């Protein structure tokens, strides 16, 4: 009998869930019991909500097990080895039978993520075994002109996946047209959006795809050097990247005369960023690589003309680059077959928030948000009602439930007031206060403002102050207009994307949930019962058992009552902290 192949998913989210322990345990028992098992590793298939994941391949097929623990994996192996049957109740994905989670994988179209969770990212051989580095080799073999490569990318319709959505091929063309003795291709792996982890997963799961994309780009636009600007908070990604770079070197894919091409001395190094959100903006990113304070500057000149070290430079996002080898290998038409008229191909989304299946999915452009949330994401937990989806990270905007049929393509998303961004998708249900959400996101962006532009530096601060006072019950009737007015000014008058988009959450929530704002301001009420200072707590005398738990929990001694008697809240003393509500075992504390 052939050995069983067992692959543990060891990416950052897997490790966080305990994949490391599972892997160690497996190593131990395999050694100890001399089990006929080939233990391998891979990284992040995207099913984060089921991590740790372990894939078992037996003669009959492949079974992905979720929620694994060291004990459970023993059971799983036992079942496969001894009984020769998969332990169905833990299987989250397989082709051999239905599982409640199959849809999560089956409904995806994986191009960028094609190797994630499939290969061992630390082994260049595995990448090559999957057709890796074939694209570039083919280009060299057929002596394809740079112009033709660029045309291929233009034809594919690939647009910048970092958020801007600028046609990648055109960007390359601009860089190609800038003649210079030095030229750079930069991979933007700064990924500053909280909740977004597309780039990290790609770098952890398939670093060679990104490198190959860069090498193809470098060749196409005649770049002389490459930099991956990766945030230092991604140690595993950086480790695997560096390992991959070393492997590529060893193979002669990087360095002097790469791939044996005379004069093609392309090399790549990793620059670790200190985690400033604004450094995802290309001019700030360049400043940061140059050792300066990460602050954006006015464009033009665009980096394609004057970028890193004032030399022509091209900056692509990780996901964009990961698509490149696939497009070269499969042809632009095949890529362009996916998606809509103006938004081709696929897009990776990080699903988060109030959703059953949080994780990473790659879907064709043009799929509706509804399908993403319900078909792939499995809907909202506890059968709550969906209220809105925040798309595009903290500087994106929210799309309300009634626009759920919006297609995910650049134009449709922008029309709603949100942006595609890098693909963060946060689902919010009825228990979410939209004013509070806007405040939360704006608090992030205003802290991350580099401080350069007046509007971004002070304007976002003033907007935040208005939002804060609204959520604290001190809102004034003119506040909504003030937010709209100031928000528009901040958008219009900021140098970079951070300021230009920071007001989006505020503007879109006002656009779609003005009634919530009005309730906060005029009625001093938070309809979603989130804004603490607007809540009103009362004890239901019918339900109160006089257990005194609430009175003991109250930090301001606002609750009084005899033991076994009905308790009351003194509203003058109540500070709306919610302690009584969370402590009451009888649902006797009512919030309104």
Q: Which stretch binds another protein (CB under 8 A): 111-119, 224-232, 234-242, 292-300?
A: 292-300
Q: How far is the CB of 129 from another protein (least distance, A)?
A: 45
Check: CB of residue 240 under 8 Å from CB of residue 282.
no
List the structure tokens of 308. 């890193």
Q: Please say whether the beta carbons of 195 and 393 come within 8 A.
A: yes
Q: Which stretch binds another protein (CB under 8 A): 14-22, 54-62, 142-150, 459-467?
A: 459-467
Contact pick of 243, 384, 457, 583 for another protein (by CB under 8 A): 457
The string of DSSP letters for 89-155 reads GGEEEESSS--TTHHHHHT---STTTTTTTS-TT-HHHHHHTTTTHHHHHHHHTT--HHHHHHHHHH
- Residue selected from 260, 263, 300, 477 as contacting another protein according to rule CB under 8 A: 300
Contacts with another protein, 460-479, as mask; x by CB under 8 A: xxx--x--------------
Q: Mask of contacts with another protein, 477-516, x by CB under 8 A?
A: ---------x--x--xxxx---------------------
Does the footprint of another protein cover residue 449 (CB under 8 A)? yes
Among 455, 512, 517, 581, binds another protein (CB under 8 A): 455
Minimum distance from residue 491 beta carbon to another protein (Å):
9
The string of DSSP codes covering 161-188 is TTTT--BHHHHHHHHHHS--S--EEEEE
One of 37, 153, 450, 531 touching another protein (CB under 8 A) = 450
Can you say whether the dihedral through the CA atoms of 101, 103, 104, 105 is positive or negative?
positive
Instruction: Indicate if the alpha-carbon torsion angle 306, 307, 312, 314 is positive or negative.
Output: negative
- Written as six digits, the tokens of 317 are 């996002």
Torsion of CA 204, 209, 213, 215, to 10 degrees: 100
Nearest approach, Cβ of residue 13 and another protein (Å): 28
CA distances from 49 to 16, 117, 125, 378 (A): 11, 14, 30, 11
* Total interface residues for another protein by CB under 8 A: 29
| Count of positions (residues) in the chain | 592
Q: How far apart are CA 398 and CA 404, in angstroms?
A: 11
Residue number, 78 or 293, with CB nearest to another protein? 293
Q: Does 17 bind another protein (CB under 8 A)?
A: no
CB-nearer residue toward another protein: 92 or 295: 295
Q: Are the beta carbons of 229 and 318 closer than 8 angstroms?
A: no
Identify which of residues 21 and 462 has a Cβ nearer to another protein in the complex.
462
170 in contact with another protein (CB under 8 A)? no
State the helix-helix crossing angle for 207-221 and 235-250, rounded to 10 degrees: 60
Residue 276 in contact with another protein, rule: CB under 8 A: yes
Residue selected from 3, 454, 522, 582 as contacting another protein according to rule CB under 8 A? 454
Provide the minimum distance between the beta carbon of 485 and another protein in the complex, in angstroms, as a whole number: 8
Q: Closest separation between CB of residue 435 and another protein, Å?
A: 17
Count of helices and strands (H, E) across the chain: 24, 18
CA contacts within 13 A on the Cβ side of 535: 20
Q: Does 458 bind another protein (CB under 8 A)?
A: yes
CA angle 84, 48, 130 (to 5 degrees): 65
Rg (CA), the chain: 26
Taking the least distance from each CB to another protein, the nearer of 411 and 540 is: 411
- Check residue 453 for interaction with another protein (CB under 8 A): yes
Shortest reach from residue 139's CB to another protein, in Å: 35
The answer to the question of residue 451 lying near another protein (CB under 8 A) is yes
Residues of the shown chain interacting with another protein in the complex, contacts defined by CB under 8 A: 276, 293, 295, 297-298, 300, 446-455, 457-462, 465, 486, 489, 492-495
């Amino acid at each position: 009998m052939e050995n069983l192949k067992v692959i543990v998913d060891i990416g950052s989210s897997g490790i966080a869930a305990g994949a490391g322990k599972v892997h160690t345990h497996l190593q131990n028992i395999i050694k100890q019991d001399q089990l006929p098992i080939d233990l391998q590793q891979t990284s992040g298939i995207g099913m984060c909500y089921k991590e740790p994941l372990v894939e078992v391949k037996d003669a009959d097929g492949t079974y992905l097990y979720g929620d694994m623990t060291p004990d459970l994996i023993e059971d799983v192996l036992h079942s496969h080895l001894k009984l020769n049957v998969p332990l169905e109740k833990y299987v989250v994905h397989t082709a051999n039978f239905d599982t409640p989670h199959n849809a999560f994988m089956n409904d995806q179209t994986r191009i960028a993520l094609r190797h994630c969770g499939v290969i061992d990212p630390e082994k260049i051989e595995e990448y090559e075994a999957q057709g890796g580095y074939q694209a570039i080799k083919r280009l060299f073999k057929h002596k394809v002109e740079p112009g033709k490569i660029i045309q291929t990318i233009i034809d594919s319709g690939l647009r910048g996946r970092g958020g801007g959505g600028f046609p990648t091929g055109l960007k390359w063309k601009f860089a190609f047209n800038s003649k210079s003795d030095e030229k750079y291709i930069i991979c933007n792996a700064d990924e500053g959006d909280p909740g977004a982890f597309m780039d990290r997963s790609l770098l952890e799961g398939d670093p060679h795809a990104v490198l190959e994309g860069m090498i193809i780009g470098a060749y196409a636009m005649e770049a002389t050097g490459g930099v991956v600007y990766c945030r230092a908070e991604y140690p595993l990604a950086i480790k695997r990247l560096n390992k991959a770079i070393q492997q590529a070197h060893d193979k002669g894919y990087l360095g002097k005369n790469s791939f044996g091409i005379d004069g093609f001395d392309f090399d790549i190094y990793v620059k670790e960023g200190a985690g400033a959100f604004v450094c995802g903006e290309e001019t700030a990113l360049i400043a940061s690589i140059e050792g300066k304070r990460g602050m954006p500057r006015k464009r033009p000149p665009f980096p394609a003309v004057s970028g890193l070290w004032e030399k022509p430079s091209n900056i692509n996002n990780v996901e964009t680059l990961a698509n490149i080898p696939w497009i070269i290998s499969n042809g632009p038409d095949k890529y362009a077959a996916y998606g809509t008229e103006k938004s081709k191909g696929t897009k990776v989304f990080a699903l988060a928030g109030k959703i059953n299946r949080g994780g990473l999915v790659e879907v064709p452009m043009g799929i509706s948000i509804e399908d993403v949330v319900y078909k792939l994401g499995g809907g909202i937990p506890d059968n709550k009602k969906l209220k809105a989806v925040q798309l595009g990270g903290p500087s994106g905007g929210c799309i309300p439930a009634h626009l759920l049929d919006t297609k995910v393509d650049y134009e449709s998303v922008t029309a709603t007031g949100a942006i595609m961004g890098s693909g963060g998708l946060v689902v919010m249900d009825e228990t979410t206060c939209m004013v509070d959400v806007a405040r939360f996101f704006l608090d992030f962006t205003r802290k991350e403002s580099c401080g350069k532009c007046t509007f971004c530096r002070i304007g976002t601060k003033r907007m935040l102050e208005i939002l804060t006072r609204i959520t604290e019950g001190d809102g004034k009737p003119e506040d909504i207009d003030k937010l709209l007015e100031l928000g528009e000014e901040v958008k219009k008058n900021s140098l970079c994307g951070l300021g230009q988009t920071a007001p989006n959450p505020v503007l879109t929530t006002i656009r779609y949930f003005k009634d919530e704002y009005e309730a906060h301001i005029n009625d001093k009420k938070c309809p979603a019962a989130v804004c603490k200072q607007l809540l009103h707590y009362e004890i239901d005398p019918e339900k109160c058992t006089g257990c005194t738990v609430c009175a003991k929990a109250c930090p301001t001694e606002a609750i009084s009552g005899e033991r076994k008697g009905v308790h009351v809240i003194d509203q003058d003393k109540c500070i709306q902290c919610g302690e009584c509500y969370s402590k009451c075992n009888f649902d006797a504390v009512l919030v309104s």
